Amino acid sequence: MNKLILSLGFSLIVFSAAAQEIPRFNPDTIKTITLDSVVNIKAEKLNVELFIRKIINDTSFYQSFRDMKRYSFVAENSVYTYDKHDKVNGSMYRKIKHDNHGKYKMEYLAKVDKGDIYKRNGKFQLYTVEMFDYIFMNSYNSDFINDGSASDGSNGGKNESYKDKLKTLVFNPGRPIKGIPFIGNKTEIFSANMRQYYDYSFSSGTYLDSIPVYRFTVVVKPDLSSFSKDKVMIKKLVTIFDKRNFNILGRYVDMKYSNLLFDFDVQMNIEMSYFEGAKLPTKISYQGNWNVPFKKEERASFLVLHKDYKLEKSK
């Protein structure tokens, strides 16, 4: 259960209205957007329900990660771990060339480890870093991105169940996560029961200086009672839509929750861009604090940058 709780927080992945930003990164897609006041769409009536429907039914965001297998590219991965005073006590940097021409090959262009990253047995000190290594360094040839459909994980044991829950949180926000005490239905922010706790809004702007976009924001209502706030885990969800085709180009999520079993404060952002017409991931950033009984408190952040995508014709 402890591993599952930590993996869920990592992936958000991976969500009190006045939650404090952790002073390391500010991984919010808004930083890449210039907002304006013009909102216009001809193909469909623009309203909150349209945006919610697009989020719930979208498969392209996940497909973009799967499509990376068709490309060679360079990834720069930076990981930092922190002590209880938020001072860096460990770091890991990797610059990796992912070669998908023919049989997949991974070449380390740079590899630097500092501080308190590994245990004596060679495993990572923090489960957060272990999950980072699994998802963003080995995932390009792993079963994490092999199948676009989620299952209950019953055929693959606990690890498969963890992976399926990670997929749901990252790629299908708003859906319930089954089998997690005190959390499962708190992720279902578009349900009739949960909507009473949120404000929904959208604005227009420009992404990466050239792409016309809508920015759809779901945020906890500022005047909720303490009792109501305890029912809410996802504090903010931001989704960036390409105006021209409603492709999802960015997703930011802010989570905070505390009870007798655990407490966490996590923010994660994923950004994408076009490469010769294909939508592919370009930036993933995460920061989070986790505290689970009988486990070492986990404080970590990471930044992943993808560049130099090259389509391999044989794929």
pLDDT band, residue 44 (cuts 50/70/90):
low
What's residue 167's pLDDT?
60
Q: Where is mean pLDDT largest: 36-45, 142-151, 242-251?
A: 242-251
Q: Mean pLDDT, to the nearest integer, of 230-254? A: 88
Distances (CA, A) of 114 to 19, 81, 84, 289: 31, 10, 18, 20
Distances (CA, A) of 208 to 195, 246, 274: 31, 16, 11
HSE-CB at 279 with a 13 A cutoff on CA atoms is 18
- Percent of the chain at pLDDT > 90 equals 18
Q: Mean pLDDT, to the nearest integer, of 173-200? A: 75
Backbone angles phi, psi at 186, to 5 degrees: -70, -20
- Percent of the chain at pLDDT > 70 equals 67
Joined tokens for residue 19: 């939650």
Residue pair 162/3 in contact by the 8 Å Cβ criterion: yes
Concatenating the DSSP letter of every residue in 7-39 gives HHHHH-----TTPPPPSS----GGGGEEEES--
Residue pair 131/11 in contact by the 8 Å Cβ criterion: yes
* Distance, CA of 10 to CA of 193 (rounded, Å): 26
Joined tokens for residue 185: 């239905």
Residue pair 198/186 in contact by the 8 Å Cβ criterion: no
* Distance, CA of 147 to CA of 149 (rounded, Å): 6
* Distance, CA of 226 to CA of 218 (rounded, Å): 19
E strand or H helix that includes residue 287? strand 278-291
DSSP tally for the chain: helices H, then strands E: 6, 11
Q: Where is mean pLDDT largest: 18-27, 138-147, 148-157?
A: 138-147
Residue 287 burial class via C-beta count within 10 angstroms: exposed 0-12, middle 13-18, buried 19 and up: buried
